[in-house]
Structure 1
Amino acid sequence: MMKEKLENVEERIRAACERAGRNRSEVTLIAVSKTKPVETLREAYGLGVRVFGENKVQELVDKYGALPEDIHWHMIGHLQRNKVKYIIDKAELIHSVDSLRLAETIEKEAEKHNITANILIEVNVAREESKFGVMPEELDEIVEKIAGFNHLNVKGLMTIAPYVENPEENRAVFARLRKLSVDIASKNVDNMNMSILSMGMTNDYEVAVEEGATMVRVGTGIFGERDYAQV
C-alpha cells in the first residue's frame, strides 16, 4: 500500500516538474512522518525514503535514536525556543524559523555545539491568524538582523498555504513566496543563498512544484491519514 502511494507521489512530482520545464532532481520529497510509529518509518526507509519531516521535537529525538544514521531529519513544525537544544545537532534543516527571537536561540545553541545551523524563514504569506510565520513586510528586517549571525545559514523560505479544496487557489501564495526569495537573493545578503523553497503539502504539492518549490512536505499522500491517538 505504501509502495503504491509513494510511487504515485513520485509520478505526480515528476509530471509537475515536466509541466514546469524543471528537472525532477530539483525537488526533494520530505516524508512527513509525524504521529507515525518507528515501524512505519522503517517501511518507508525500506522503500528508499531518506528524508523525513517531524513536527514535534520529542518525536524527532525519539525516532532519530531508533532509525538508521543516513536519514536526513527536518524539523518542520512550530519550534519553541526552550526546545531548540534538543534538536540542534539532529535536524539537518529547521524549516519553521518564525521570529527573530527563535533565530537568536538557534544561533546560541549552534555556537555551543560549534556548528552552523541550516534554517528556513517561515513566511505567513496568506496572513492566516492560525498560522505562525513572519509577515512578508517583516522579512527584510529579519533577514538584515540574521545576516550578522555567525552560526546560522539561511537556505531559503518556507510557507504553509491555507487548506483549500482546489489547489489552484494556493498558486498565488506559492508564487508570492518565490518572488520574496528572488528579491532577497538579489540583495546578496551574508549567510543567505535562497536555494530552498519549502512549500506544498499533500493536497497542493503539484501546484507548488509548478511555482518553484524545491522541497515538498507530503505526509498523508505517503502514509495515509494520521492517527492522532498516537500523538
Structure 2
Amino acid sequence: MESIEKRLAHIKDEIRTAALACGRDPETIDLVAVSKKKSSAAVTSAIQAGVTLLGENYIQEAMDKINTIGNTPASWHFIGHLQSNKAKFAVPYFDLIHTVDSFKLAREINKQAAKINKRQAILMQVNIADEATKSGTTAASALALAREIAPLEHIHLTGLMGMPPFFDDPEGARPYFKAMANLFNTIQKEEIPGVDLEHLSMGMSGDFKVAIEEGSTLVRIGTAIFGSRE
C-alpha cells in the first residue's frame, strides 16, 4: 500500500497541474486533508508528511484526536454538520468552521466565541442543489444570511462552502461549482462590512480538478490521501 507521504505528494501535484492548466496560481488553492474516522497515528503521519489543514466531521472524535495529538503546526477545520448545542465545543478547537447554515447557529457560535474572546472564522454552507439530504442555506437566501451574520462581533464570515450532488463523471458537478462561484462573486460585490470573502470550499477526491477550474480555494480530500475509511 502506498504511504500517506506518497499519496499526499501525488495529490499536491495534481492540484498544481489542475491550477496551472486553467491559468491559476497553485498557491491560491489549499488542501484540507479530511481525517474523519482516521486514527491519531494516521493524522500525525499526515502532519509529518506536510499536511497543514485537517478537516474533521464529528465533534467528539475531533476533540479526542486534537487532545491526543496536542500542539501541531496544522490548523483544524470543522467540515461536518454542526448543531447549535455543539458550538461550545467547536469554537475552542477549530480555526475555521465550514458549515454555518443558519442565523441561529451563527448567533450561538458568536456567543461561545465571545466567552473566550475569539473572533471565529466561518464559511457559510450553501445547499447549492437544494438536496433534501444535505444541510445548507439556499442560494436564494445566502446574501440575506450574510447580511444577518455580518454584525456579529465574534464571527468573521470569510467564504462559502458547497457540495454538489454525486456524479460518476465529475463534469456533472461543474454547473454546481459554477453556481457557487457566481454566488461568491455576488456576495463579494456587495462589500458588506465585516464580511471578507476569500475562501470557496468545494471539491473532493472525485471532482476537485473541476472545482479548481471553477474557482475553488479549499479542496477537501480524504480518501485519496488516507486511503479508504477504516
TM value normalised by structure 1: 0.96
Partner of 1:19: 21
Which 10-residue stretch deviates more, 3-12 or 198-207?
A: 3-12
Cα offset for 1:11?
1.3
Aligned partners of 2:39, 2:150: CA distance in 1, in Å? 38
Q: What's the counterpart of residue 6 of structure 1?
A: 8
Which residue of structure 1 aligns with residue 103 of structure 2? 100
| Equivalent residue number for residue 137 of structure 1 | 140
Deviation for aligned residue 1:70: 1.8
What do residues 50-87 of structure 1 show as CA deviations (whole Å, max 9, x unaligned)?
A: 21000001122111112233220000000011111112
Match of 1:120 among 98, 119, 123: 123
In 1, the alpha carbon distance for the partners of 2:154 and 2:193 equals 12
Which residue is 1:58 aligned to? Answer: 60
Q: Could you tell me which of 29, 36, 39 is aligned with 1:37?
A: 39
Distance in 2 (alpha carbons) for counterparts of 1:175 and 1:191 = 25
**Cα distance in 2 between the residues matched to 1:87 and 1:128:** 25
Query: Secondary structure of the equivalent of 1:183?
Result: helix
Distance in structure 1 (CA, Å) of the matches to 2:155 and 2:92: 13
Partners in 1 of 2:139 and 2:13 — Cα distance?
33
Deviation at 1:19, TM superposition (A): 1.3
Corresponding residue to 2:214 among 203, 211, 215: 211
Shift of 1:130: 0.5
Write the letter of the residue equivalent to 1:32: V
SS at match of 1:88: helix
Residues 60 and 73, structure 1, Cα contact 8 Å, conserved in 2: no
Work out whether residues 75 and 96 of structure 1, in 8 Å CA contact, stay in contact via their aligned partners in 2: yes
CA contact (8 A) 1:95 1:119 kept: yes
Alignment pair present for 1:156 and 2:162:
no
- Matched letter for residue 115 of structure 1: K
Name structure 1 gaps, 5 residues minimum: none
Give the Cα separation in 2 of the matches to 1:142 and 1:44: 36
Structure 2, unpaired ranges of 5+ = none
Deviation at 1:90, TM superposition (A): 1.5
Residue-pair matches, total: 227
| Pairs within 5 Å for 1:167-182 | 167-182=170-185
**Correspondent of 2:76 among 69, 73, 76:** 73
By how many angstroms is 1:99 displaced? 1.1
